[in-house]
Amino acid sequence: MPDERSRAVVQTREFLVELSRDSSLPDRVRRDATFLLRHFPTRDDVALAGRIEEHSDTLPFGASGPVFSSTITR
C-alpha cells in the first residue's frame, strides 16, 4: 500500500541517520550510511511525491497505482 511504503521509506531514512551518527559503530558503517543518505528522499520529498501522485489524473501509473502516499503516520 502507498501509505505503508511511504512510512517504510521515511523510517529507513531515520534509521540511516541514526547509523551515521552512532560513534560506537565502525567508521565504514557510518560512512556507508552517510553515503546512502546523500540521495535518499526526505519525509517532505515522500509526502510531495504522494501529493503529486494522488492529485494527478494524467500520470501513467498503469495498474499499479500511486507509489507513495501524502499521509505518513508512525
DSSP 5: H
DSSP string, 19-71: HHH-TTS-HHHHHHHHHHHTTPPPHHHHHHHHHHHHT-SSS--TTS--S--S-
Q: What is the pLDDT along the chain (74 residues), one digit of tens a residue?
A: 888 999 999 999 999 999 999 999 999 999 999 999 999 999 999 998 888 888 776 666 555 666 777 777 76
To the question of pTM greater than 0.85 for the whole model, the response is no
Whether 7 maps to a domain, the answer reads yes
CA 65 to mean position of chain CA atoms: 18
Domain that holds residue 16: 2-54
pLDDT value, residue 56: 73
Predicted local distance difference test score (pLDDT) of residue 73: 72
Query: Does any domain span residue 34?
Result: yes
Per the domain annotation, does 16 fall within a domain? yes
Contact 6, 69 (CB under 8 A): yes
71 is written with which cell numbers?
A: 499521509
43, part of any domain: yes
What does the pLDDT read at residue 10?
95
Please report whether residue 69 resides in a domain. Answer: no
Provide the number of structural domains found in the chain: 1
